[in-house]
Amino acid sequence: MIVKPKIRGFICTTAHPDGCRAIVKSQIDYVKSQNHAEGFKKVLVIGSSMGYGLASRITAAYSFGAATLGVIFDKPAGGSRTASAGWYNTAAFEEFAHADGLYAKTVNGDAYSKEIKDKVIEIIKNDLGKVDMVVYSLAAPRRTTADGTIYSSVLKTVGESYTNKTIDLKNNTVSDITVEPATEEEITATIKVMGGEDWQDWITALKAADAIEENAVTVAYSYIGPAITHPMYADGSIGKAKDHLFETAKAITNADDGIKAYISVNKALVTQSSAAIPIVPLYISILYKVMKEQGLHEGCIEQMCRLFNTKLTKTTAVTDEPCRIRMDDREMQDNVQNTVNKLWSEIATDNLDTHADLNGYHADFYKLFGFGADGIDYEQDVDIDRPIETV
């Protein structure tokens, strides 16, 4: 099949298998080219098929030779429908890891469910004994709990509505958007989906099954960002969930059984989930421009490689005062934020070319789905069926 991008709303409904494979390969090559600290050896990555989770898995495997077990929620190809990008990324990662003699297995299913937790634990017990690192990198729109209740997360403000600039990426126009406040019920649901309850459930289940080392480390990801994004993010419904995630990290560590939990505050990047947040994509496209010009830009793989090799290693955890790891250190530098603020105050549809890196934003968005990778001929027929050693 010849696979072309088909954009619907904030996502692309097709994915290119060879493009995804090439992008995974380039991430592996990047990690191989970097210095390696003493890292974790048996790593469970929950949400390992895209974005920060995929980059965490690639870093663990190729910085430390770690055995990795991934949990994904992806679709294989069916008929003339391509698989999801996460499926192709995982198939490619497994192919490379196995060729390089690395243990890599993946469980495909709902990470929030008990069934998937049980499956993962069985594999750990059979194959690895115990894990020494758990990466929790889910970004999900909804969660079904054990009693069958479905909770949906929302990206809204808390308290008051907020008006600021946003970009319509379909036609590259800047306009004002007003984001309405979430109801109490929506905030509670967002915390259920994106807060720490399920992370805690994973750690509790792993401990109960004796499938996690006593001195293991677990990490989940958060975002803070500058003031213009706060009503939408840090102080919004998603921010409430992230506060809960942070409290969960403290609770896991305070259980005093040796397991340490951290929140890593990562840089804003184009991923499937960030593309859906109002205001944030415009901020990201300005940020890309400024950070690229200042030689500070990083993507998911550069962030995760720096995290696990310099800030969260087997022997160190570099944290700020409330005990968070700051991978957003470069994004939040004054020289970056002052320039972003100036550009933000001036930006409009007719100066997008000079004030933002829209090409970079769009290129990264297409790359999420395997389009625009170097060396791939997108006019060629490709086999859209790619196997994963899915259990």
Cα separations (Å) of 249 from 86, 198, 233?
A: 27, 12, 20
**Contact region for ligand NAD (CB under 6 A) — 20-28, 221-229, 318-326, 343-351?**
221-229
By CB under 6 A, the residues from 111 to 140 that bind ligand NAD are 111-112, 137-140
Q: Which is nearer to ligand NAD, 22 or 54 (CB)?
A: 54
Q: Which is nearer to ligand NAD, 144 or 161 (CB)?
A: 144
Q: Which is nearer to ligand NAD, 38 or 297 (CB)?
A: 297
Residue 273 C-beta: closest distance to ligand NAD, Å? 4
Burial of 115 by CB count in 10 Å (0-12 exposed, 13-18 middle, 19+ buried)?
exposed
What is the SS3 assignment for 151? strand
The reply to whether 365 sits near ligand NAD by the rule CB under 6 A is: no
| Residue ranges in the chain assigned as alpha helix (H) | 17-32, 51-64, 85-99, 114-123, 184-194, 197-208, 237-254, 280-293, 300-306, 334-346, 352-355, 358-367
Q: Using the rule CB under 6 A, which residue among 56, 274, 285, 309 binds ligand NAD?
A: 274
Own/partner pairs, 32-35, CB within 8 angstroms, 24+ separation: 32/62, 34/63, 34/305, 34/309, 35/309
Distance between CA atoms of residues 270 and 11, nearest Å: 12
The reply to whether 370 sits near ligand NAD by the rule CB under 6 A is: no
**Contact region for ligand NAD (CB under 6 A) — 6-14, 26-34, 107-115, 334-342?**
107-115
The reply to whether 53 sits near ligand NAD by the rule CB under 6 A is: yes
Amino acid identity at 114: K
Nearest CA to 255 out of 325, 319, 204, 195 is that of 204
The reply to whether 56 sits near ligand NAD by the rule CB under 6 A is: no
Residue 196 C-beta: closest distance to ligand NAD, Å? 11
Helix axes 237-254, 184-194, angle to 10 degrees: 50
Find the distance separating the first CA and the last CA of the chain, reported in whole Å. Answer: 27
Q: Which is nearer to ligand NAD, 109 or 256 (CB)?
A: 109
Give the count of residues interacting with ligand NAD (CB under 6 A). Answer: 28
Residue 138 C-beta: closest distance to ligand NAD, Å? 5
Summary count for the chain: helices (H), strands (E)? 12, 13
Burial of 322 by CB count in 10 Å (0-12 exposed, 13-18 middle, 19+ buried)?
exposed
The reply to whether 252 sits near ligand NAD by the rule CB under 6 A is: no
Helix axes 17-32, 51-64, angle to 10 degrees: 50
Q: Which is nearer to ligand NAD, 245 or 352 (CB)?
A: 245
| 233 catalytic per annotation | yes
The reply to whether 47 sits near ligand NAD by the rule CB under 6 A is: yes
Q: Which is nearer to ligand NAD, 71 or 340 (CB)?
A: 71
Which residue of the chain is nearest ligand NAD when measured via CB? 51
The reply to whether 202 sits near ligand NAD by the rule CB under 6 A is: no
Residue 142 C-beta: closest distance to ligand NAD, Å? 8
The reply to whether 190 sits near ligand NAD by the rule CB under 6 A is: no
Amino acid identity at 131: V
The reply to whether 239 sits near ligand NAD by the rule CB under 6 A is: no
Which residue in 162, 233, 262, 361 is the catalytic one?
233
212 token code pair: 């996690």
Burial of 315 by CB count in 10 Å (0-12 exposed, 13-18 middle, 19+ buried)?
exposed
Q: Using the rule CB under 6 A, which residue among 64, 73, 88, 344 binds ligand NAD?
A: 73
Write out the residues near ligand NAD by the rule CB under 6 A.
Answer: 47, 49-53, 71-74, 86, 110-112, 137-140, 221-223, 266, 268-269, 271-274
- Active-site positions? 233
